[in-house]
Amino acid sequence: MDAFPFRIVGFDLDGTLLDTHGDLGAALNHALGLAGRPPVAVAQVTELIGGGARQMLDRALALTGTVPPDDEVKALHRELIAFYRENIAVHTRLYPGGEAMLDGLAARGVQIAVVTNKLESLAVRLLDALGLSSRLATIIGGDTLGPGRAKPAPDLLHEMIRRLGGGAAAFVGDTTYDTRAAAAAGLPCVAVRFGFNDVPVETMGATAVIDHYDALIPTLERL
């Protein structure tokens, strides 16, 4: 087997490694119900995800009426997170081909990371619940480095590389938060068409686009 070109491959979590829209949608609609708002249809949830739970909530509140004062939104955000924490892996699953893809990267000696804007504690809880944490070299959340350092800033990706000892790295994501962070960090980025794309995937500025995880390893080998 030829040497694989990347020592480190990082993944965004929601809409990239995992299809989380069912559980995020349930938590979002719980918070909207507390605010007296109508629920958001499952089909709309994927359009609201990106940048973390607070931004998802802000978008949903704007969609269903006027946005309440910030203290009320903060309270709803706390309720959303509490509900999600207790119902985090009811519907969530790897995207098709994900398990074989992770096995393939591991067989090539790749260190696999998750770098997400989700709170680190929630990311760890979810990955533990799905039995995936043991596959990962590190898990980095949107709050890991403190305020203002989540994607699209490059800081979390720099931290990924630092933790894993340096070397050639690539990132896999589904939104402009991911492609912009990768570009700022100087990393190639593969965008997944099946994720929670916030703009048409061809316009994200990704190095490459894939339709299924069967294509990821061959795509990385070509970069």
The answer for residues whose C-beta is within 8 angstroms of residue 108's C-beta and 6 or more apart is 1, 4, 217
CA angle 40/24/198 to nearest 5° reads 75
Would you state the structure tokens that stand for residue 85, as one six-digit string? Answer: 């924490």
**Amino acid type, 157:** L
Q: Which of 89, 143, 96, 104 is nearest to 121 (CA)?
A: 143
Indicate if 214 belongs to the active site: no
φ and ψ at 52, to 5 degrees? 115, 170
In angstroms, the Cα distances linking 185 to 61, 117, 176, 180, 181 are 33, 16, 14, 9, 6
Q: Which of 12, 14, 23, 178 is catalytic?
A: 12
Catalytic positions are: 12
